[in-house]
Amino acid sequence: MAQEKVKASDRLVAIGGSAGSLEVLLCLLPALGQINFAILIVVHRKVSNDPILRDLLASRTKLTVKEIEEKEVPVPGTIYLVPGDYHVLLEQDKSFTLDYSEKVNYSRPSIDVVFESAANVYADKLVCILLSGANADGTEGLRHVKLHGGSTIAQLPSASDVPYMPEQAILGKVVDRIMNIEEIIDFVKNF
């Protein structure tokens, strides 16, 4: 019996964050019903095989939440979590590749790496959202997304636990929209 080929999501929402971003994710996920796109989450976190973050996110939604596996293809209605200590690249066939190259912005996974790679594949079918965090990771990735026709959003700094990361993107003039948590939720629900 032939294995049926999985159809990759034709649209992607990529969300990046660091310190303080978990609060937004824990508000966003319960608000999502059925979605016809994939969500990719990259957060700075400790190196660990501990499934605690995945389990916490999964407990807040009826959607499938899973850590990315090598050569997996993102499918609609699924939330993918970048594993700790790996960059994730998207290939032209939309499959994921786990990468252990050097840290970028002191981080692995790097939001810049994920956003740039996603922009190369999804172009104008991509939305990237940068949340709370304490370094400038994500700014160059958002610049790349804009150059490829994707949409870029930063969390409103005054609504961020650690505003430095979204502030850097705003100062870098790479953000299409600045949103508070409720606006981010509405935007993703209606993407």
Residues marked as catalytic: 18, 44, 137
The residue whose two tokens read 């499918």 is 75
Q: Can you name the residues that pair with 16 across neighbouring β-strands? A: 42, 130
Positive/negative CA dihedral, 19, 23, 29, 32: negative
What is the 3-state composition of the chain as percent helix, strand, coil, each rounded to the nearest 5? 30, 25, 45
Query: What DSSP string describes 121-180?
Result: HHGGGEEEEE---SS-TTHHHHHHHHHTT-EEEEE-GGG-SSTHHHHHHHHTT--SEEE-
In this structure, are residues 137 and 107 in contact, taking their beta carbons and an 8 Å threshold? yes
